[in-house]
Amino acid sequence: MRVPGMLAAVLAATMAAGCGAASGGSPAQRHATAAALPSLPASVSPSASPSAPVQSSSPQSSASSSSPPPDPVTSGPSQSPAVITSKILTLGSHGPAVKALQRRLAGLKYYPGPADGGFGTDTLEAVWAFQEVQGLRPSDEVNQAMERALVSPRAPKALVPGGGPLRVEVNLAREVLVLYKAGQVALISHVSTGGGYYYCSPGGGCGYAITPAGNFRTVTYMPGWITVPLGEMYNPVFFIGHAYAIHGDTDVPLYPASHGCVRIPMDIAAFFHTLLPTTGTPVYIRH
């Protein structure tokens, strides 16, 4: 990995402190949220102990002797009918139209949670990701413009077409992550990346909250809530040392807000590490 000189100070500050989030609820609320998520076996255990002051709040989960759960992204039919409804759907909506929306989004490789007909936060975050990919202004509702896009959706733009059949791409301009497996889109997620603000780490060092663009590879995965000087990360998959990671957070807003990490929704963070090798998978980050 080659790092531009202008980012050296930023990387140094974040490498010393990690880029965990300090917002998004109290530690107790964060742990309660994690406890409510489905338990999925880790595909790769951490390969090394962190060099920065890092603490894991939960032990490494062991592989279950029973059959693994179905792939939360690729299970089920790949094609679903487009959503056509006469009313606007929003957080809290219920009914067949919401279930049709969930099935359509899942067929397009977004993750709206189970197709239960309830428009909850998992579905909302999938709606945001779809809107971001389609070039629509992200909002908390499914309006007529989004319905039209669901009929003939565009695929996410490949940032590095020659990047290999297995790769992660993070689009900083659209705040979207795309996982490719066997050359095909396997998962599309809304993210929140570096907020650009100036901060100082409690452990020393100051810098700007920037997610560095470049070519990286996954380094390791650590299960559960990981505590670093700047806050906490859930199920982080690191791609620069033990500082920059793709990790779950209870606060993944519609704007760049992190210290430099790539925040993903908690429901996706529960299984993201099982979808790829957590050591050596290419991670391409572009503006």
**pLDDT confidence tier of residue 74, bands split at 50, 70 and 90:** very low
Give 215's strand partners. 284
Q: CA-CA distances (angstroms) from residue 82 to 75, 104, 222, 229?
A: 18, 6, 38, 46
What per-residue string of b and e applies to 187-216 under the rule 16 or more CB within 10 Å gives b? bbbbbbbbbeeebebeeebebbbbbbebeb
**pLDDT confidence tier of residue 123, bands split at 50, 70 and 90:** very high
pLDDT digits (tens, 9 = 90+) for 134-186: 999 999 999 999 999 999 999 999 999 999 999 999 999 999 999 999 999 99
What per-residue string of b and e applies to 254-277 under the rule 16 or more CB within 10 Å gives b? bebbbbbbbbbbbbbbbbbbbbbe
pTM of the shown model: 0.79
Return d(Cα 118, Cα 109) in angstroms, integer: 19
Helix axes 144-151, 121-134, angle to 10 degrees: 70
Return d(Cα 22, Cα 74) in angstroms, integer: 33
Q: Which domains does the chain have, with CATH numbers?
A: 5-38+47-59+162-286 (2.40.440.10), 89-151 (1.10.101.10)
